[in-house]
Amino acid sequence: MSVLIIAEHNNRELNPATLHAIQAARQLGEVAVLVAGHQAEAVVEQTKQVSGVHHVLLAQAVHYETGLAEELAPLVVSLASSYSHIGATATAFGKNLMPRVAALLDCSQISDLTEIIDAHTFVRPIYAGNAYATVQSQEPKLVLTFRATAFDAAATEGGSATVETVAAEPAQNLSRFVGRELTQSDRPELTQAKVIVSGGRALGSAEQFNRVLTPLADKLNAAIGASRAAVDAGYAPNDYQVGQTGKVVAPELYIAVGISGAIQHLAGMQDSKVIVAINKDPEAPIFNVADYGLVADLFTAVPELIAALDS
Amino acid sequence: MKALVAVKRVVDYNVKVRVKSDGSDVDISNVKMSMNPFDEIAVEEAVRLKEAGKISEIVVVSLGVKQCEETLRTALAMGADRAIHVETDETLAPLAVAKLLHAVAQSEQPDVLLLGKQAIDDDANQTPQMLAALLNAPQGTFASKVELNDGEAVITREIDGGLETIALRLPAVISTDLRLNEPRYVKLPNIMQAKKKPLEKKTVADLGVDVTPRLQQIKVAEPKSRSAGIKVDSVAELVAKLKNEAKVI
C-alpha cells in the first residue's frame, strides 16, 4: 500500500506540520509526498531528505502558488489512483483541502485522527475531545487528516526520496487569492512550541495581556496562546486561540493564566505533558486537569514567577 | 440574490457528554439540544446580508429527525424566510449531508451557500468543502468576514498564521468561523411570526441520494482521564516542582 501526503508549504519552506502526517503515514505504507506550488524547488529539496519519504511528486503552476483548494483538489484527484490512502495534517490548509478531494473521489473522510489501529481503522476525538470514536472505513480509498500533536514529527534528515515531476491540471479559476496578513512574531509557532503560556479573560485588557504574559513567555522561550474568551474580548489575535475551534496543542509545559477551563478550551490542550494553572478561583475547572495549581491573583503571581525563574 | 443556509441540531455546547456504558456511542438521551453554534453564525450572516440589501431570500435547510423542525423554527425566528426539512432517522455522515444539500441546491439554485465550519458533535469540518466540490463551486472556509459584490464574494479567512483574503465567483460555499458575527437573540414576537413561515418537508428518497454509511463506528470510549494534580501554596513551590519534579523548566 502506498500513501500520498499533501505537503503544506509557502514555496520556500516545508511547513513542519507536514512532518507529523509523514510520520503517521509510515505506519500505513510507502510514503509519497506531493509538493504542488510555484517555484517550489527548495521545498522539494527539503522534502526528499525527510526520513521515511520514498517519493516526492512536484507539480508546478502559477495557480498552485497560494494553495487554493479549488486548484489543488483536481491535481490530487488526478494522482489518486496509485494510492490507497491520501492525507494531510489537520491544519487550516489540510482541513480546507482534503474534504474537497474526498468528495471529488466520492469517498468519506476521517478527520483529525489521533491513532492508527490498522489500515482501515482509526481513532478520532468527537464532542470536543470528550469522547474518542473508533471508526472503520469500507471505502476503496481512504482520505485522512492527521492530528499533528498525536504523532511525532518525521526527522528532517536521513531520507533520500526520488523526485518526479507531474503534470499540472488546468486552472479552475473559481477563486482568486487577494492577500494574506500574517501575525508577526519571533516566538515559536504555537502548535510546535515546547512551552506555551496562555491567557484568559481575567487578564482584563489587550494591554495587560501583553504586559503580563510577554515577559513570562520571553523567559521560557514560550509561544503565547489564549482562550476563546480572551480572543473574543479582543485581548489577543484570533490565531492565538487554543481549543476545539482554535488550535490543538500538546506542549511539554502549558501554563494557563486566568483561564477557567471551559470544555472547548480543554479540548485544545489537555494532552499537554504538564499543565500549570494560575487562577484566583479555587473552583475553576482548569484545576481538574492541572498537574500544578496555584490559587492566586495572576497580577501578583506572574511577576513573582518571572522573578523566581530569574534567581 | 438567494442564500441557502444549512443548520444542524446538536447537543448544546454547554453539555458535557458521557459515553454509554456499552461503549456504542455517546449518550444523548435527555440532554439539551440546540442549533450548532457555527450554524447560528451562518444564519445571522445571511440575515445581515439581507438587511444590507445584498440578499433577497434566505432558505434554511436541516437534515435529520423530526425535532430538527425546532432548529429550523429558530432560524426562521432569526430572520430566514422559509425552511426545508429533509426528515430521516438515519445518522448522516458529512458526505451524505453534502450530497443531500447538493440536491436541495440544485432545485433552489442559491447564489450563496452558508454553513458552519464544523458541527460541535462530530467535529468533522468537512460538509462545506464537500458540498463545494459537488457543486464545482469555490469555497470560502473559516470565514471571519464576508462581502458580496457583483458576481463575487470576498472572504477573509482565518488561517493558522493570521488572515487570508480570497475572492470567489458566485455561486459559492462559505463556512463560518466564530469571529464572523455575534448572533442575535430571538424575541418572542419573532418566534410567533416564525410559526407562520413556510416549512417544507422532503424525504431522502425525494432527493434520490444514497445515504448508506461507508464508515462504521466500532466503539466510543472516554478519553484517557487526566486527574487533578496538586495545589501548591506559593510561586516558589511551583517553580521548585517544575524544576525538580516535572523537570520541564
CA distances from B217 to A27, A127, A150, B23 (A): 21, 15, 20, 10
Q: Cell numbers for B173, please give them.
A: 460555499
Query: Within 10 Å of residue B52's Cβ, how many Cβ atoms?
Result: 10
Model confidence at B23: pLDDT above 90:
yes
Q: Cell numbers for B229, please give them.
A: 494534580
Burial code of B220-235, b = ≥16 C-beta within 10 A, e = fewer? beebeeeeebeebeeb
Distance (Å) from the alpha carbon of B144 to chain A's nearest alpha carbon? 10
CB contact under 8 A, B166 and A109: no
Q: Kindly list the residues from chain B whose CB atom is less than 8 angstroms away from the CB atom of residue A294.
A: 231-232, 234-235, 238
Q: Cell numbers for A157, please give them.
A: 534528515
Put simply, whether B142 touches A (Cβ < 8 Å) is yes
* DSSP 8-state code for residue B111: S
CB contact under 8 A, B13 and A263: yes
- The pLDDT tens digits for B189-222 are 999 999 999 999 999 999 999 999 999 999 999 9
Mean pLDDT of A219-229: 96
Q: Kindly list the residues from chain A whose CB atom is less than 8 angstroms away from the CB atom of residue B234.
A: 294
How far is B180 from B201, CA to CA, in rounded Å?
30
Task: Give the chain A residue whose CA is nearest to the CA of B214.
Answer: A138
Distance (Å) from the alpha carbon of B209 to chain A's nearest alpha carbon? 13
Mean pLDDT of A259-264: 95
Bond from prior residue into B94 cis (ω within 30 degrees of 0): no
Predicted local confidence at residue B111, as pLDDT: 98
CB contact under 8 A, B235 and A294: yes
Task: Give the chain A residue whose CA is nearest to the CA of B119.
Answer: A127
Q: Kindly list the residues from chain A whose CB atom is less than 8 angstroms away from the CB atom of residue B235.
A: 294, 296, 301, 304-305, 308
Predicted local confidence at residue A305, as pLDDT: 97
Distance (Å) from the alpha carbon of B134 to chain A's nearest alpha carbon? 7
How far is B76 from B83, CA to CA, in rounded Å?
7
CA distances from B133 to A22, B35, B115, B170 (A): 26, 25, 14, 14
Q: Cell numbers for A193, please give them.
A: 512550541
CB-based contact A203:A116 (threshold 8 Å): no
Distance (Å) from the alpha carbon of A194 to chain B's nearest alpha carbon? 9
What's the pLDDT band for B247 if we cut at 50, 70, 90?
confident
Predicted local confidence at residue A44, as pLDDT: 98
Put simply, whether B98 touches A (Cβ < 8 Å) is yes
Query: Which residue of A101, A127, A146 to mutate against B (max B Cβ within 10 Å)?
Result: A127
How far is B231 from A281, CA to CA, in rounded Å?
12
How far is A233 from A211, CA to CA, in rounded Å?
16
Predicted local confidence at residue B226, as pLDDT: 84
Model confidence at B227: pLDDT above 90:
no
Predicted local confidence at residue B134, as pLDDT: 98
- The pLDDT tens digits for B156-180 are 999 998 999 999 999 999 999 999 9
Task: Report chain A's mean pLDDT, rounded to a whole number.
Answer: 96
Who among B11, B117, B166 is closest to A177 (CB)? Answer: B166
Put simply, whether B17 touches A (Cβ < 8 Å) is yes
Mean pLDDT of B9-37: 95
Which residues, listed in sequence order, are joined to residue A135 by a DSSP beta bridge? A122, B217
Predicted local confidence at residue A27, as pLDDT: 97
Predicted local confidence at residue B249, as pLDDT: 82
How many Cα atoms sit within 13 Å of B141 on the Cβ side?
A: 27
How far is B102 from B82, CA to CA, in rounded Å?
18
Task: Give the chain B residue whose CA is nearest to the CA of A141.
Answer: B214
Residue with cell 511577576: A303
Q: Cell numbers for B85, please give them.
A: 426539512
Query: Which residue of B10, B163, B211 to mutate against A (max A Cβ within 10 Å)?
Result: B163
Predicted local confidence at residue B248, as pLDDT: 84
- The pLDDT tens digits for A40-90 are 999 999 999 999 999 999 999 999 999 999 999 999 999 999 999 999 999
> Which DSSP helix (H) or strand (E) runs through B187?
none
Query: Which residue of B230, B231, B243, B245 to mutate against A (max A Cβ within 10 Å)?
Result: B231
CB-based contact A105:A48 (threshold 8 Å): no
Q: How many CB pairs under 8 A join A and B?
A: 253
- The pLDDT tens digits for B143-155 are 999 999 989 999 9
